[in-house]
Amino acid sequence: MLGLPAVVLVHVLYSVFAHVWGDQIMHSSVADLLAPVGQVLALTAPGFDTPTDVPANTEYVGPICRPEPARPPSGGH
């Protein structure tokens, strides 16, 4: 490893990816693969996922959405 900070984005339900079918796809333990990563961001709301133990390096952050266009400052001339 290069020793650089790393972030993993999990675009599917974290619980099943990290503990069920992700292992089958990766042919390895996904939880073990994610353990040394600096930050794992689960791009779903925790209420949509099956309750599971989440390691300290993992956070549910919700979906990535298209940002709203910038609005011009109000008030003025």
pLDDT tens-digit series, residues 52-75: 889 999 999 998 888 788 787 776
Let me know if residue 56 belongs to a domain. yes
- Cα–Cα distance, 48 to 15 (Å, whole number): 10
DSSP letters, 6-64, are: -EEEE-S-HHHHHHTHHHHHHTS-HHHHHTTSSEEEE-S-GGGSPP----TTEEE----
Let me know if residue 21 belongs to a domain. yes
Determine the structural domain holding residue 46 and report its residue range: 7-60
Average model confidence (pLDDT) for the chain? 88
Residue 58 is predicted with a pLDDT of 96
49 HSE (CA, 13 A, CB side) = 25
Let me know if residue 35 belongs to a domain. yes
Let me know if residue 68 belongs to a domain. no
Structure tokens, 77 = 């001339």
pTM of the entire structure? 0.76
Give the mean pLDDT of 4-14. Answer: 91
